[in-house]
Structure 1
């Protein structure tokens, strides 16, 4: 028999056991990870369009599994004055996207069960993601119940980031299997590896702080419906200012880290590409933040802003996982 072909990142060692089943799980985990990122974007679209309460109940929508198509279809107890067909269906499609991601997570868990003997950590990790997905759905119901309370929205976003991190962890586990850390390819100088951990947590804090800022805007609009759009941000006070100052610090830190990592001789070509990707994402994300402030929070830029933030977190976590 011919020896197993080595894969990149193993310094000539054979791939982890499991063969095509492990490859299949890795592909499914990749699809689920990308779908989760897209779901975060859809959630940002719902928030930016003001459709968060387009369906005022959960898990139903106006007491139905399929939303009404007109005012005439509303139940007698519904407030007809607040019904908006576009917002209702925007929120409903967001829920359908969540169901799709839930299905992908279950598929991932089933595939993980099939290779549990090849990599011991795979199935418990996949099962944890499945349980977290169910819990996330319950939290989504609380977000609706408490009418987009910023605290519950922030918890909802944090769990989405945690789910994203665990999916990346699962994908990388299928790549490395149970190979000891000492036998893996070195990827980053220790000082940069420690700096990366700090950046990772920094990005999480900044994303959650941004969610609180966005939630504060919802409160401002509800309490002052006639307030001009260009006056929304100044009413937020110190929270928005802290978020803006931390954005500058995070942008400089990620750009500096990416430059140092890309110049390091200990870094693999893949990690250098990820470093430049992180640099591009933070530059674009900071630029979108400037645009939000300058042009009075256009909805399109709101969606772009949170999308870039989630992709930046994913890239930083992937870098962290590759060299951990």
Structure 2
């Protein structure tokens, strides 16, 4: 049983590594570093220099959105991202096999393991659509939603193995407050996605240079996203205060509030420090942490009768 729990936890961590890798791909403009799928420049192992490109390489380079030239760094960043996704699939398969022998005893965990594996497969297949559509805005956003869904499924599986699903009884008002906070996070994430779309368009026009000007015009989506962040923060603080005497969940609520504070700090750095590349995937990662921690609370509690 311990080996199953350890494997489930390792898979959970790997989910976040995949999200980080995706963020690095975006911030380095490496999304079309491998302009075909599932191969990369028609090869299973991508080239390391231009001399290794296939004879028909121009049909691949034409799909890129930067300078239509071969960039080994971009290629291998995207390829590493794909390798992590493949590794996650392998972890998902092994997870199902580990739970197979205990499928009667751990029915819920076994079903969640299958749901996780199927979602990994769908995520990978949708990755092909993202490449086919040349990183269309909507396809990128949907791909990220798949990644977030994977994290939540694995979290539910992990809690199930640890007998923590619906293990804490709490009043309905508090549960409703946490649920409302989750809705606020989704709204904020949607606004953040709109800002990312705007930044992607502007940065592409500027050939991914002059980072200090990417938000110079202060688009409406950014202004709303910035203002809405204060509502999210104040709600998190109120939730922490409301749960201060609830021993069963106050620690998790405090962690959630801390994540929100860190996310705001990184957001401020993004705006006032000329969009440093390292801050972009970090901001995405913290947003993923916030959603996951809120789901963690909701999955562990059940309303009092």
Q: Same fold (TM over 0.5)?
A: yes
Matched, 1:301 2:279: yes
The answer as to whether partners of 1:153 and 1:215 remain within 8 angstroms in 2 is no
Equivalent in the alignment of 1:218: 200
Whole-angstrom distance in 1 between the partners of 2:15 and 2:214: 30
Q: Does the Cα contact within 8 Å between 2:93 and 2:117 map onto a contact in 1?
A: yes
Name 1:15's counterpart in structure 2. none
Q: Which residue of 1 aligns with 2:64?
A: none
State the Cα deviation string for residues 152-182 of structure 1 (Å, max 9, x = none). Answer: 11101111111111111111122228x9x6x
Deviates more, 1:228-237 or 1:274-283: 228-237
Deviation at 1:209, TM superposition (A): 3.0
| Structure-1 separation of matches of 2:178 and 2:131 | 35
State how far apart, in whole Å, the 1-side matches of 2:208 and 2:53 are. 28
Is 2:175 aligned against 1:193?
yes
Structure 2 gaps of 5+ residues are 62-67
Q: Out of 104, 113, 133, which is 2:100 matched to?
A: 113
**Which of 210, 214, 235 is residue 253 of structure 1 equivalent to?**
235
Q: CA deviation at 1:37?
A: 1.1
Distance in 1 (alpha carbons) for counterparts of 2:235 and 2:274: 27
> What SS does the corresponding residue of 1:233 show, helix, strand or coil?
coil
Aligned equivalent of 2:31 = 52
In the TM superposition, 1:90-169 aligns within 5 A as: 90-169=77-156
Indicate the SS of the match to 1:82: coil
**Residue 319 (structure 1) aligns with:** 297
| Number of matched pairs | 294
Q: Could you tell me which residue of structure 2 aligns to residue 240 of structure 1?
A: 222
1:60-71 equivalences under 5 Å are 60-71=39-50
Aligned partner of 2:260 among 277, 282, 293: 282
Give the TM-score normalised by the residue count of structure 2.
Answer: 0.90
User: CA separation of 1:222/1:313 partners in 2, compared to 1, >3 Å: closer, same or farther?
Assistant: same
Structure 1 stretches of 4+ moved >3 Å = 223-228
Give the Cα–Cα distance (whole angstroms) in 2 for the partners of residues 45 and 85 of structure 1.
Answer: 15
User: Which TM-score applies when normalising by structure 1?
Assistant: 0.85
Matching residue of 1:267: 247
Name the residue aligned to 2:11: 32
Q: Which secondary structure state, in structure 2, belongs to the residue aligned with residue 176 of structure 1?
A: coil
Distance apart, 1:226 and its partner CA? 8.3
SS in 2 for 1:55: coil
Query: How many Å separate the matches in 1 of 2:215 and 2:225?
Result: 12
Contact kept in structure 1, 2:168 and 2:300, CA below 8 Å? no
Where does structure 1 lack aligned partners over 5 or more consecutive residues?
1-19
Deviations 1:21-77 (A, max 9, x none): xx4322222111111012111111111111111111111111111110110111122
Q: Please, which moves more after superposition, 108-117 or 36-45?
A: 108-117
Secondary structure of the corresponding residue to residue 299 of structure 1: coil
**Are 1:259 and 1:275, in contact at CA under 8 Å, matched by a contact in 2?**
no
